[in-house]
Amino acid sequence: MAECHPVGFQWVMEAKRRGATIIHVDPRFTRTSAVSDLHVPIRAGTDIAFLGALVNYILTNELDFREYVVAYTNAATIIDETFQDTEELDGLFSGFDEDSHSYNPESWQYAGADEAAADDDGADGPKGDQPGEEEKETHDSARAQAMGSGGPSVPHKGRRDETLQHPSCVYQVLKRHFARYTPEMVQEVCGISAEQFHQVARALTENSGRERTSAFCYAVGWTQHSVGVQNIRTASILQLLLGNMGRPGGGIMALRGHASIQGSSDIPTLFNLLPGYLPMPNAELEQNLDHYLERDEGKAGFWGNSRAYMVSLLKAYWGEAATADNDFCFDYLPRLTGDHSSYQTVVGQIEGRVKGYFLVGENPSVGTSGGRMQRLGLANLDWLVVRDLQMIESATFWKDGPEIATGEQRTEDIGTEVFFLPAASHVEKAGTFTNTQRMLQWREKAVEPPGDARSELQFYYELGQRIREKLKDSTDEMDRPLLDLAWDYPVEGELREPSSEAVLREINGMDADGNPLSSYTQLRTDGSTSCGCWIYSGVYAHGVNQSARRKPHWEQGHVANEWGWVWPANRWMLYNRASADPDGRPWSERKAYVWWDEAANDGAGSWTGEDIPDFIADRPPHYEPPEGAKGPDAIGGSDPFIMQTDGKGWLFAPAGLADGPMPAHYEPPESPMRNAFYGRQNNPARKFVDSRHNPVHAQGSHVFPYVFTTYRLTEHHTAGGMSRTLPFLAELQPEMFCEVSPRLAAERGLTNGGWATIITARTAIEARVLVTERLRSLRVGDQMVEQIGLPYHWGSNGVSTGDSSNDLVNLTLDPNVFIQDKGGTCDIQPGRRPRGPDLPSYVEEYRRRSAVDEDQRSDRGTNP
Amino acid sequence: MTNSLYGRLDDVQADAGHDPSHPPRKGFFTDTSVCIGCKACEVACKTWNRLPEDGISLSGMSYDNTRALSAETWRHVAFIEKPVHPTTTDLGLPGMGPPGFEAYESGVATAPAAEDQGALSGDGSIRWLMSSDVCKHCTHAGCLDVCPTGALFRSEFGTVVVQQDICNGCGYCVTGCPYGVIGLDENDGKAHKCTLCYDRLKDDQTPACAQACPTQSIQYGDVDELRERADARLAELHAKGVDVARLYGRDPEDGVGGNGAFFLLLDEPEVYGLPPDPVVTTRDVVDIWKHVGAAAATMLALGVASFLGRRQS
């Protein structure tokens, strides 16, 4: 966190100053480790083994925060008796289909779901899985859950045994599942000593309960794995067991990779989502608005109002043209026909199915895994638009990419027409950043963009207007979605930029008279309101740009919620009903945050506190919803997790995940080890990127004996376009380097400051060597594992240049969100890599030796 | 002995001839115990002061590619990787670290303390110390004292600043600094160093480095108050059992009369590349001149005597 989020890390240092214990779990000893109380070196890709052992430690010693767990999680809920665990199936959960490598989650349901479904006239069987960003996990889960177990006449909590003794209750299922995650296994799999494990376990459990909480912070170190989502799930289970969700000082902090990456999930640049985590409609299943909404509509929780959100979004898109008679132009929306995520798109480019591409502030030639495939894709397009601050590698690959250097490609053979358009930087345009805490902060334009540089807003607006102008006489129905768009933003300034504040108003939403809404609860299903993103509704409440608020913290309460604006409804902490006990009283004075005030509201009572309650303000703590209640009305008084149909935090996910209801340790796609937990080596539901350019190393390869992991440095920004081009930053980390332990240096004859070549079956790169004890040689079981650290910032352009470590990475994807594993196995040799055509033949020799070739795929059966 | 060149001096501005109504002495307290090595100070300094990049090359010295303070680099974050319990096993590696590190110097690396240890190196076997170094703005500044042109001067804030339009590039200040802070620029041939952002101070602004520091490792303020803050922080760390913590340059009685920019370190000063007991190079100037004067007087007396003697003979 100190490495990649130094500004946010100031608060960790502040917490440390106030007595917090900082524990850092990372393969490397980083700048974070340097100031932590405890650094726990771990073998890359074994997070579930470690976290799972913590879960087991808590359950075995009954150290969970029992009152919280019983009341606020689904620990007491009874699971369908057809469910089978990895314990019974040697690494598989029930419902796995070997042919499609995918799960049918039917047997993971809450017991009694079948009867409930029978009563539920809305349920019509599972729809196609369209998993997306992890945030969407909530929604997918909610959809599946609403469809499966939540019936109008059955309490949506399912059957519960609050003594937690029923053998099929989640608590017991979880306990059995994690029983084999012992400290001994942690030593054997992660390379973490039992002593260190116990240090962490004690620190966490002693810091749990009414008086104390712990927070987890993670970045892509957890997400970029073929089990990325399940890594986070394991942390969620821990935090729920310890009572650390919805309470001050608790939570799981996802540290995003760029400014406003949170914003780009909320108003998404993702293929499978619409604004506010509404799913993109499916081409086969969702022919009209009713179809699209029927899973969520009327179900318990706030997703039950999804019609209001969707209709208001369609009104924001198409304005007057969207009417009840034409389904509010629902037919204008594009439909999903399958996985159109980034890596599949690249495969489509290589296969010639994808002809055009926009790269906006993204440099996949360097910054995306499997860089070679990225460039091969770019080279096979008809046209490519690159908008960036600098002439990045993804715009110049056709003349100076690594494949040109090796002779595998010739400039004259590349037909891609590249349009490079200079972009305005964040100080050259006004708008918002949404940070990881869901906080929108408005920034003013400081200077006009130089030369031809323009903001994204202006670019897309111009592009849209020009296309519309060209199509204006078209009678083709296909062009209606474009022509009917409600695009009428005022323009301002010399550059005639569309007003970003007007866009924010549209996102906030308006009533029929054009007055700004103050909350998403005002959204209507009849088309009388419009709203560009329901969760952002309120950011322009009362006609005031709330995201521009800058009241200093010393002039307000400690939550400081008059700084910027946090979605939803300026609630700074989600699910904060859980900060009070079931009776609505703070768990302790020290941790008081949101509570039930009986006297308020003329004696009717109301939720109040330091933050805006993330709950229905006047719902009493022990409220039981009447039978047949729908939407928010169906939320019970002790159901803090209001986006879940059962209102409970999920220790066991009965639906919504593509690779199991509970996390299980599987080895990374490339690993030196056999899976010590199960017969299944890898995540059985992982997705493959089928391409001859993407060979994957076999487990335990003697040719690729070392583990590598890729990461960022404080001094550079992602693919380097904003840092390698600036002398002040480039000089701080001037050359691509690798970090190796003294033991590995001795084993391979590497010298500090010298050169090394790192080889995988994808390619080979060179790097200067730092020999450092910050990289540990891990004793994992009876073998030593060496891990090589590789920053990924370098490419061929800029002041500081070097090879890109992303070229080494294989593409094997998490089945929920299609993210790759950030590491793999490799070899390392002293000296620089071969040049020109010698490089591919050097790699080919490695491939031959490791018997990794195009037939490798057929080994899947023997190496599951 | 106390005078303008050595010893305790409580009002350094008045001593330099500033009006008694001068502002309080300003300085830095750099608390290295909370430094996370982000180098924001280096970048902020270069950006504000328009200093050029001075070398795109990997040093091989941990994450320190800045290497040292110079005319082009006025903030330097040192990164020191230090084994804590160097159990010696010769792995035959060449030396690679800064001097003073047994393990690195002899190519010796740490080995597991026990066979069953998870990590070969064992947890806690390495410390990564980070410290942002800067001009110390000494109470008795050797650079200023030896400057023959008056290019270096003591500002009303008690800081030491070079005026490049007066500097003649003689380089006396370079040898006059006990810390190796000041340097000559290769391009203009003149001396340059940290000004404590004299231009920003005049506008009541915080120096760029302190402004940029995310963890308040670099604290800017009145030297008197910073000394109190440093004492409190030291006491806090000692109470927590961090007995390696110490203050460096805080003592007004030390060889330079205390620094305007002082530090809290977590190891011996030498580990950070700082002299353990710096003494202003002009400490003995008064003595020297006394001796020179005495010698001259003696010579004169002898000469006179010789003439007198001759006359007598």
> What are the pLDDT digits (tens) for A558-581?
999 999 999 999 999 999 999 999
CB atoms B121 and A741 under 8 Å: yes
Q: Which residue of A has its CA nearest to B119?
A: A778
Task: Give the pLDDT confidence score for residue A156 in this predicted structure.
Answer: 54
Among A13-27, A44-58, A840-854, B158-172, the least confident range: A840-854
Q: Which residue of B has its CA nearest to A784?
A: B120
Q: Which residue of A has its CA nearest to B76?
A: A732
In this predicted model, what pLDDT tens digit does every residue of A683-739 receive, in sequence order? 999 999 989 999 999 998 999 999 999 999 999 999 999 999 999 999 999 999 999
CB atoms B39 and A772 under 8 Å: no
Q: Which of A39, A731, A736, A769 to mutate to test binding with chain B, by most B CBs within 10 Å of its CB?
A: A731
CB atoms B53 and A742 under 8 Å: no
State the smallest CA–CA distance between residue A3 and chain B in angstroms.
Answer: 7
Cβ of residue A37 closer than 8 Å to a chain B Cβ: no
Task: Give the pLDDT confidence score for residue A118 in this predicted structure.
Answer: 54
Task: Give the pLDDT confidence score for residue A157 in this predicted structure.
Answer: 67
Instruction: Supply the mean pLDDT for chain A.
Output: 91
The tens-digit pLDDT sequence of chain B (313 residues) is 455 778 899 999 999 999 999 999 999 999 999 999 999 999 999 999 999 999 999 999 999 999 999 999 999 999 999 987 644 444 444 444 443 343 333 333 333 333 333 334 344 478 999 999 999 999 999 999 999 999 999 999 999 999 999 999 999 999 999 999 999 999 999 999 999 999 999 999 999 999 999 999 999 999 999 999 999 999 999 999 999 999 999 999 999 999 999 999 999 999 999 999 999 887 777 777 788 888 888 888 888 888 776 655 5
Measured between beta carbons, the chain B residues lying within 8 angstroms of A31 are: 36-38, 63, 128, 130
- Residue whose entry in the numeric block shows the structure tokens 């922080």: B233
In this predicted model, what pLDDT tens digit does every residue of B91-150 receive, in sequence order? 444 444 443 343 333 333 333 333 333 334 344 478 999 999 999 999 999 999 999 999
Q: Which residue of B has its CA nearest to A190?
A: B118
CA dihedral A810, A811, A815, A818 (to 10 degrees): 130
In this predicted model, what pLDDT tens digit does every residue of A86-125 receive, in sequence order? 999 999 999 999 999 999 999 999 998 766 555 544 433 3
- The yes-or-no verdict on residue A366 having pLDDT over 70 is yes
State the smallest CA–CA distance between residue B249 and chain A in angstroms.
Answer: 23
Query: How far, in Å, CA of A262 to CA of A406, rounded?
Result: 39
- The yes-or-no verdict on residue A149 having pLDDT over 50 is no
Cβ of residue A743 closer than 8 Å to a chain B Cβ: yes
Query: What's the complex ipTM?
Result: 0.90
pLDDT: which is higher, B293 or A837: A837
Among A149-153, A181-185, B64-68, B295-299, the least confident range: A149-153
Question: What one-character-per-residue DSSP string does chain B give?
Answer: --BTTBS--S-HHHHTT--TTPPPPEEEEEEGGG-----HHHHHHHHHHTPPP-------STT--S-S--SS-SEEEEEEEEESS---EE--PPP-S-TT-HHHHTTEE---SSTT-SBSS-TTSEEEEEEEEE---BSS-HHHHH-SSS-EEE-TTS-EEE-TTT-----HHHHH-TT---EE-TTT--EE---SSHHHHHTT---HHHHH-TTS-EEEEEHHHHHHHHHHHHHHHHHTT-TT-EEES--TTSTTS-BSEEEEESS-GGGGT--SS---TTTTHHHHHHHHHHHHHHHHHHHHHHHHHHHH-
pLDDT: which is higher, A138 or A235: A235
**How many Cβ atoms are within 10 Å of A524's Cβ, its own excluded?**
18
pLDDT: which is higher, A844 or B100: A844
Q: How confident is the model at residue A627 (pLDDT cuts 50, 70, 90)?
A: confident
| Paired tokens of B84 | 């804590």
Q: What is residue A611's three-state secondary structure? A: coil
Cβ of residue A800 closer than 8 Å to a chain B Cβ: yes
The reported pTM is 0.90
- Burial string for A829-862 (b: 16+ CB within 10 Å, else e) reads beeebbeeeebbebbeebbeebebeeebeeeeee
In this predicted model, what pLDDT tens digit does every residue of A436-476 receive, in sequence order? 899 999 999 999 999 999 999 999 999 999 999 999 999 99
Task: Give the pLDDT confidence score for residue A304 in this predicted structure.
Answer: 85
In this predicted model, what pLDDT tens digit does every residue of A740-771 receive, in sequence order? 999 999 999 999 999 999 999 999 999 999 99
Query: How far, in Å, CA of A822 to CA of A714, rounded?
Result: 18
- In this prediction, residues A65-75 reach a mean pLDDT of 97
Cα–Cα distance list, A67 to A138, A169, A242, A638, A672 (Å): 24, 16, 10, 12, 43
The percent of residues in chain A predicted with pLDDT above 70, rounded, is 93
Task: Give the pLDDT confidence score for residue A441 in this predicted structure.
Answer: 97
* Chain A, window 170-199: residues with a beta carbon less than 8 angstroms from a chain B beta carbon: 187, 190-193, 196
∠ CA A309-A311-A314, rounded to 5°: 110
CB atoms B215 and A10 under 8 Å: yes
Q: Which residue of B has its CA nearest to A747?
A: B91
In this predicted model, what pLDDT tens digit does every residue of A499-555 receive, in sequence order? 999 999 999 999 999 999 999 999 999 999 999 999 999 999 999 999 999 999 999
CB atoms B38 and A10 under 8 Å: no
Cβ of residue A318 closer than 8 Å to a chain B Cβ: no
In this predicted model, what pLDDT tens digit does every residue of A239-271 receive, in sequence order? 999 999 999 999 999 998 888 899 999 999 889
* Chain A, window 747-776: residues with a beta carbon less than 8 angstroms from a chain B beta carbon: 751-753, 768, 770-774, 776
Question: What one-character-per-residue DSSP string does A100-150 give?
Answer: TTEE-GGGGSBTTHHHHHHH-TT---PPPP---SHHHHHHHHHHHHHHHT-
- The yes-or-no verdict on residue A356 having pLDDT over 80 is yes
